[in-house]
Chains A and B, each alone.
Chain A
Amino acid sequence: MRGDGRGPLPLRGARPVTTAALVHVVVSGLATGSIYALMAISLVIIFNATRTLNFAQGEMLMVSSFVGFTVSARVGLPLVGVTLVAVLAAALLGWVIERAIIRHAIAATHFDVLIITVGLSLVLRSAAGLAWTHDEFPFPSFFGNRPITLGPVRLAPASLGIIGASLGLMLGLWALFTHTRLGRAMRAVAQNQHAARLMGISVERVYSASWVLASVVGALAGVLIAPVIFLSSKMGLVAINGFIAAVLGGFGSMPGAVVGGMLLGVLENLAPLYLPSGIKYSVPFLLLIAILLVRPGGVVGRTVRRKV
């Protein structure tokens, strides 16, 4: 995670790496990885419906976290209330963006929609800066600060909590996609829009639902990660690693997104132990370029062959 100052690691370079430290690093890697996985899932949900990459995903997360934070600070809600308001705001934002902008451009090339979302991310970040300034705000956490000690291993409750909550959310999504009518409709649209339409599925409804769902998943990821990286107009940058996670897993695949996110989180946290500290921030990007070159279909995915 960039620029949060509380880099995941108290240890550096040449010192020998103990097992306990390694476990600590891997667990905090899995925690950041879960967030990347959630971001990747949001991106994949939208990609599967509208075949475009949503560059504004991170900014949508940021705006909904800010709305939740502000509303509950005014009214004095507990953290559950903050989460609820953030989720509602996210749902509304996702719906409005899809209906007001994306739907009108859906006939255009994916190229155009992609650039529209880039423009949207600029607009949202700048608007958030105007509304809430570009400062960083502390955000309340569901989890305590006291490290949990297991023998020689000390783990941060926040890490474990983030991993647990993310896994729970992923399980919920899995149930949604396999056991509900809406989930099945979304998967059908992802496979083949024409066939889905012929089967009586309202593809437009699936577009809306996908944007709302992706936005809500993003908002939950935002509430989980905001205590760690602080609430700020820049926090949307976390979505870039979500993109990379989605590519690692083979864009379009949900299990792939989870694996990719976890992999990225762990590698990113492990890298500083073995590599010079200067290239730490480049690790995700080098990884992205490497994976695109070697296995563009992702680590777990099949290679998609294009027929001409």
Chain B
Amino acid sequence: MRRAALAVGLLALLAWPWASPRYFVFLASLSVVNAIVAIGLNLLSGYTNQLSFGHAGFLAVGAYTAALVTTRWPDTPVVVTLAVAALVTGLVGLGLGVPCLRLEGLYLAMATLAFGFVVVEAIMNLDWLTRGNDGLRVPAARLGPWALQSDTARYYLVVAVGVVMVWAALNLARTRTGRALLAIRESEIAAQASGVHLARYKTLAFAISAVYTGVAGGLFAFVVGFLSPDAFDVFLSVDYVAMIIVGGLGSVPGSIAGAALLTVLNDSLAGFQSYRPLIFGTLLILSLLFMPGGVARAFRFLKGEQG
């Protein structure tokens, strides 16, 4: 039953570009990219209770890394580019994670918020590298002899990477690291008492989260094709927080649902830009007040399991 559902889902994903107009292919790619960020953020916030308002900053680091690598060395295979983006962003995450160990709750929220601002300012000011406010055009990604120039090609790239990332996240919970993170979520003190090295695993969570966001950033660069600092402002970070809140903290399927829901909602509100924050904000408040646990918990509730 489960396998059948999975197979149908995968088939639907593969068939999507042939069944829908070109724009919806782009939208689906964007949803998958956002889902990867949401999973990364959820590993951090949902598993180790470290709230981040700076994930747009990580996304920017990944996106600019991928864009710069592709501009400088156009023949780099896209897998290598994404790996470099993941590595660079992961290192930045490690660099932010170590000092943030000392912080929790709202201090952490503010430190990550500040990180997001600093990244955007840095991009604006390093214009010899990033072209600042003029923006950076991203060349097409290359995979061996092919240049991924069409929306469909990019969609398949994003889906392939996305499936790997989702699979890794689902299996993470079954590894030693994953169990340690879950233990930290339930109780830091109890986890520590059972021999979980808190500092190590909280830093690791930061790094893993950054790696996810870095990969998503690389994909984002190729999908959108043009980067400018204002795309990575603090409101994007808030959007990601909204995705995991609406989807459900600590749930991988919830992250995907939240990301898809908010990406599509965001897009359908494109004509009503001034109402967008109003609706997003209301959604955020209502889901916290009336649907704690998000879509993921609502699903479990509907299936008759206890929430």
Which A residues lie at the B interface, using CB under 8 A? 52-53, 101, 104-105, 108, 110-112, 114-116, 118-123, 125-127, 129-130, 134, 240, 243-244, 247, 251, 278-279, 281-282, 285-286, 288-289, 292-293, 296, 308
Contact = CB atoms under 8 A, between A and B. Distances in A.
8 contacts: A118-B53, A119-B285, A120-B281, A130-B278, A288-B114, A292-B103, A296-B103, A308-B192
A278 B114 contact: no
B289 interface: yes
Contacts of A114: 51, 105-106, 109
Contacts of B110: 53, 243-244, 247, 288, 292
A70 B298 CA distance: 44
Given A125-B277, A289-B114, A105 B107 contact: no
A127 to B, nearest CB: 6
Q: B124, B242, B278: which has the most chain A beta carbons within 10 Å?
A: B278
Interface in B137-156: none
B288 A129 contact: no
Interface stretch (B6-14, B115-123, B178-186): B115-123
Given A105-B289, A122-B278, A122-B281, A285 B106 contact: no
A293 B102 contact: yes
A268 B117 CA distance: 16
Nearest to A246: B110
Given A116-B288, A123-B277, 15 more contacts: A53-B106, A53-B109, A111-B51, A122-B235, A122-B284, A123-B278, A125-B277, A126-B274, A279-B121, A279-B125, A285-B114, A285-B117, A286-B114, A288-B114, A296-B103
Given A112-B288, A116-B288, A122-B238, A288 B281 contact: no
A119 B274 contact: no
B152 to A, nearest CB: 35
Nearest to A47: B106
A251 B110 CA distance: 12
A115 B118 contact: no
Contact of A282 (B111, B121, B276): B121
A112 B277 contact: no
A110 B121 CA distance: 30
A240 B242 CA distance: 20
Nearest to B287: A119
Q: Would you list the 9 A-B pairs with minimal beta carbon distance, nearest first? A: A122-B281, A119-B284, A123-B281, A285-B114, A126-B277, A126-B278, A278-B125, A122-B277, A119-B281
A53 B113 CA distance: 13
Interface string B246-261: 0000000000000000
A114 B106 CA distance: 8
Contacts of A112: 288, 292
A209 to B, nearest CB: 22
A281 B117 CA distance: 9
Contacts of B245: 115
A137 B242 CA distance: 32
Nearest to A59: B281
A213 B125 CA distance: 40
Contacts of B235: 122
Nearest to B98: A293
B194 to A, nearest CB: 14
A126 B276 contact: yes
Contacts of B115: 285, 289
A247 B113 CA distance: 13
Given A101-B285, A288-B114, A289-B111, A122 B105 contact: no
A51 B44 CA distance: 22
A272 B8 CA distance: 60
A119 B114 CA distance: 18
Contacts of A125: 277
A101 B114 CA distance: 27
Interface in B15-67: 49, 51, 53
Interface in B261-292: 274-278, 280-285, 288-289, 292
A244 B241 CA distance: 21
A281 B99 contact: no
A182 B99 CA distance: 39
B80 interface: no
Contacts of A293: 99, 102
B274 A130 contact: yes
B172 interface: no
A111 B105 contact: yes
B189 interface: yes
Contacts of B49: 111
Contacts of B238: 118, 122
Contact of A119 (B105, B106, B192, B282): B282
Contact of B285 (A52, A123, A127, A251): A123
Given A288-B114, A292-B111, A129 B274 contact: yes
Interface in B182-208: 189, 192
B289 A101 contact: yes
Nearest to B275: A126
Interface in B60-113: 99, 102-103, 105-107, 109-111, 113
